[in-house]
């Protein structure tokens, strides 16, 4: 986590401890949807996942004045969502191998929550980064990643050579690696490179 992001989270937590509803709203808005999707990995039940995540946020507000967060608010809440989802599995009469497998192998350990990148967080950061790189590089990246066009299709659509497309994609990835260096998403770029080649 970058120093700037860590400082921002620290301010949010301090405001939350003082019963600042706007701070709670920011945290809720930033993480709610992703936490529901994360919980669904365990429960496979959308209603249960929404209820579990809502409970996590209710408890966050109820216990706001006594919060002891060692890492980040994201990690703290993500771990809570995981624990509640696993508890739900334990107390629900689910008779299939999936539940047993999840209970034996939790998705995230304590140390992994800090580096877990949420979809909306990454998407927001990616869109911001694309706005900061040269337009011609962002254009081919979007066509490849979001429109699922191959190099030949992009070249034909733009009226350039396939080699030009390859160079622009390579440049886009180089720029984005630098722009997103604080988000620890090397694995994300490895996936992208496979998709774009």
The per-residue pLDDT for range 18-34, each reduced to its tens digit, is 998 888 888 888 888 88
The correct CATH number of 3-114 out of 3.50.50.60, 3.40.50.10150, 1.10.540.10, 1.10.1740.10 is: 1.10.1740.10
**8 A C-beta contact, residue 48 and residue 87:** no
d(Cα 94, Cα 76) in Å, to the nearest integer?
27
The ranges of the chain annotated as CATH 1.10.10.10 are 119-196
The ranges of the chain annotated as CATH 1.10.1740.10 are 3-114
Q: What is the rounded average pLDDT for all residues in the chain?
A: 77
**pLDDT tens-digit series, residues 51-90:** 999 999 999 999 998 888 777 788 889 889 988 998 888 8
Q: Which pair of structure tokens corresponds to residue 140?
A: 């081919």
The correct CATH number of 119-196 out of 3.40.640.10, 3.30.420.40, 1.10.10.10, 1.10.150.20 is: 1.10.10.10
H/E element, 91: helix 73-91
Structure confidence at residue 176 (pLDDT): 79
d(Cα 45, Cα 7) in Å, to the nearest integer?
35
**pLDDT tens-digit series, residues 129-169:** 888 889 999 999 888 876 768 899 999 999 999 999 999 98
Q: How many CB atoms lie within 10 A of CB 131?
A: 10
d(Cα 17, Cα 45) in Å, to the nearest integer?
32
177-to-117, 153, 183 alpha-carbon distances in Å? 15, 25, 10
């Amino acid at each position: 986590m970058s120093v700037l992001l860590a400082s921002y989270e620290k301010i949010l937590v301090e405001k939350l401890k003082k019963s600042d509803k706007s701070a709670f709203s920011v945290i809720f808005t930033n993480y709610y949807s992703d936490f529901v999707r994360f919980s669904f990995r365990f429960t496979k039940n959308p209603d249960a996942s929404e209820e579990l995540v809502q409970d996590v946020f209710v408890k966050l507000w109820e216990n706001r004045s006594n919060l002891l967060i060692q890492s980040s608010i994201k990690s703290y809440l993500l771990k809570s969502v995981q624990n509640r989802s696993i508890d739900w599995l334990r107390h629900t009469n689910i008779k299939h191998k999936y539940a047993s497998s999840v209970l034996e192998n939790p998705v995230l350990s304590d140390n992994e929550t800090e580096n877990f990148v949420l979809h909306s967080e990454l998407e927001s950061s990616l869109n911001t980064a694309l706005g900061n790189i040269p337009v011609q590089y962002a254009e081919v990246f979007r066509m490849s990643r979001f429109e699922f066009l191959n190099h030949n299709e992009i070249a034909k659509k733009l009226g350039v050579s396939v080699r030009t497309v390859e160079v622009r994609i390579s440049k886009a990835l180089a720029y984005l690696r630098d722009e997103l260096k604080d988000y620890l998403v090397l694995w994300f770029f490895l996936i992208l490179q496979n998709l774009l080649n």
